Amino acid sequence: MLVTGGAGFIGANFTHYTVRHHPRWRVVVLDALTYAGDRASLGPVAGDITFVRGDICDADLVDRLTAEADVVVHFAAESHVDNSLHDPEPFLRTNVVGTFRLLEAVRRHGTRLHHVSTDEVFGDLPLDSAQRFTEATAYDPSSPYSATKAASDMLVRAWARSYGIRATLSNCANNYGPYQHVEKFIPRQITNVLRGERPRLYGAGVNVREWTHVDDHNAAVHLILEAGRIGETYLIGSGDERSNREIVELILDTMGRPVDAYDHVPDRPGHDLRYANDTSKIRTELGWRPVYDDIAAGLSATAGWYRANEWWWTAHKERAERRYQELGR
């Protein structure tokens, strides 16, 4: 199994999950180790995998690794919305050109592919609506990040239809859990509290997300690999929707702080209002159910992980906060 982007947040957790629960796979991780990739995230399973440092846009390297694989799980992507707004070019290169390189390798060698994407490709939903995204929802991305992920999804679908590659796709709601870069919303707030600082909330904090624990996401990907229908897309999500304000207050309460001990900062440009996925397809067809269908338990475990692993996030934290200071957020 070739895992692209396997030193990033979701990819590293997927590698851990695969080694723990699916040991029949020999895992090869390909990662360029840009700022969001950290080889230390693979430390606990380093002896059980093969690690290759390289760029998803390196056609020769991707071709060689794909030729040796039975299946490719494609996580490699630039993924932070704020960074995409500031400098979109790396997102075009990795998310679009990188996916193209991989698709051409998969086409040449007939390798099974699963492409991991995001529900942000669908745009957003009204705050006061019961509407949810489905696999048939039209794409309406709002940031350079989500636009390039939408482009990569469309490339996979086109290669499946035109060239017959054996591919499946998944679009997951927001993830949280261990090894997530501290630039992201939940670990940023947790690590602020651990450092004795106040969490920071975009705008009024009314924006709503459906939060899914990374292990639940990766369990779903394995189910799709084993039983998903070729050419199909599956939405993944816990069903637990919370506003950003609710998440900050839950973090503070979980960590024994007053629930109002946070500051408001200027809102992100073009900030999507609400994401929510209709996951009836994966639940009905494949029998998937999240372990963490209530974020409270998963958030407590996540806060505990960051408390116990300060060595992993300290250096990342300094760089991320300097960047946020430049952006005024």
Give the catalytic positions in this structure.
119-120, 145
Q: Which sign does the torsion angle of CA 51, 55, 60, 66 carry? A: positive
CA distance 194 to 21: 32
CA distance 37 to 44: 15
CA distance 145 to 92: 8
CA distance 12 to 215: 11
Which amino acid belongs to residue 95? N
Q: Is 73 strand, coil or helix?
A: strand
Residue 295 CB neighbour total at 10 angstroms:
23
Q: Is 316 strand, coil or helix?
A: helix
Please, what is the Cα angle at 93 between 88 and 99, to 5 degrees? Answer: 125
Residue 21 CB neighbour total at 10 angstroms:
12
Q: Is 136 strand, coil or helix?
A: coil
6 phi/psi in degrees, rounded to 5: -80, 0
- If 0-12 CB within 10 Å is exposed, 13-18 middle and 19+ buried, where does residue 29 land? buried
User: Tokens 């200027």 identify what position?
Assistant: 266
Which residue in 126, 102, 122 sits closest to 112, CA to CA?
A: 102
Contacts of 303 (CB under 8 A, 6+ apart): 190, 251, 254, 255
